[in-house]
Amino acid sequence: MRKLIVNADDFGLTRGINKGIARGFRLGIVTSASAMVNMPCWDHAAELAKRLPGLSVGLHFNLTLGCPVTPPRSVPTLVDAQGRFHGDLKQLAAADPLDITRELYNQYNRLCRSGIAPSHVDGHQGIHALDNILAVLLDFAARLGLPLRLAPHARERYKAAGAVTTGALIDQFQGRGATRPNFERLLRECRAETAEFRCRPGMVDADLENLSAYTWQRERELAVVCAYARETFPQEYGYQLISFAQLPAGG
């Protein structure tokens, strides 16, 4: 039977998102979450995760929102004059690999210090697809034996690095596409033996409205992932639900 990871991004961004992800795991088909350890609500997310045995938690490597975990003076190509991530993808594409590596390991270590064994790594806002960041992440993932979210354009680089990933990334579910018919269509059209379904469920709160333009859409996503029963999903849709921790080495 084919295998599906249902991964919820942005764990730690706000308490409302944290609660939505927890709900999606308890009542729906979310199997995995990606943690933003530099955000103010990460401690709340970490405490929730400890009460959710079976939820795998990986690192949502973030270089675009908030402040770095590393002292800003030690990662100058990643930050602005105020010491916050500048968030400009063109600048990130030219960032110093040493700065990227320092911040990556410090974010990873913060996740580990929370008492959570990281299950995988991916990139906030798709930064893992930038060539210079992907090179650092491929080395990091291979060294630590962690699965890395697929960047579909770079399959051969994953193979060459020996990095574990899925056969497909299903990433066309956001916004008004967050409906049951679209979810089921995307599953039907996927031909890979293993796939990650990326979602961003959550509950809207004031913090989210201040941080992101992607607000009510998260509640739509939450409603969809909670519309299915974990126990009957494999028989009805032909996918075994797994986490990144259960991903076969061959992807």
Residues across the chain: 251
User: What pLDDT is attached to residue 248?
Assistant: 76
Between CA 151 and CA 50 the distance in angstroms is 29
SS3 241: strand
- The b/e string for 89-108 (b: 16+ C-beta within 10 A; e otherwise) is eeebeebeeebbbbbbebbb
User: What pLDDT is attached to residue 18?
Assistant: 98
User: What pLDDT is attached to residue 194?
Assistant: 97
Q: Which of 237, 232, 244, 188 is nearest to 28 (CA)?
A: 232
SS3 6: strand
SS3 59: strand
pTM: 0.96
Query: Residues 93, 99, 104, CA angle at the centre, nearest 5°?
Result: 95
Q: Which of 198, 196, 197, 193 is nearest to 238 (CA)?
A: 193
CATH topology of domain 2-62+117-246: TIM Barrel (3.20.20)
Domain ranges for the chain, please list them. Answer: 2-62+117-246
Q: How many CA atoms lie within 13 A of 42 on its CB side?
A: 23
Write phi, then psi, for 170 (nearest 5 degrees). Answer: -95, 110
Query: Residues 152, 157, 158, CA angle at the centre, nearest 5°?
Result: 70
Burial (CB count <10 Å: 0-12, 13-18, 19+), residue 126: middle
- For 85, which DSSP code? B
pLDDT tens-place values along the chain, 251 residues long: 999 999 999 999 999 999 999 999 999 999 999 999 999 999 999 999 999 999 999 999 999 999 999 999 999 999 999 999 999 999 999 999 999 999 999 999 999 999 999 999 999 999 999 999 999 999 999 999 999 999 999 999 999 999 999 999 999 998 888 999 999 999 999 999 999 999 999 999 999 999 889 999 999 999 999 999 999 999 999 999 999 999 976 66
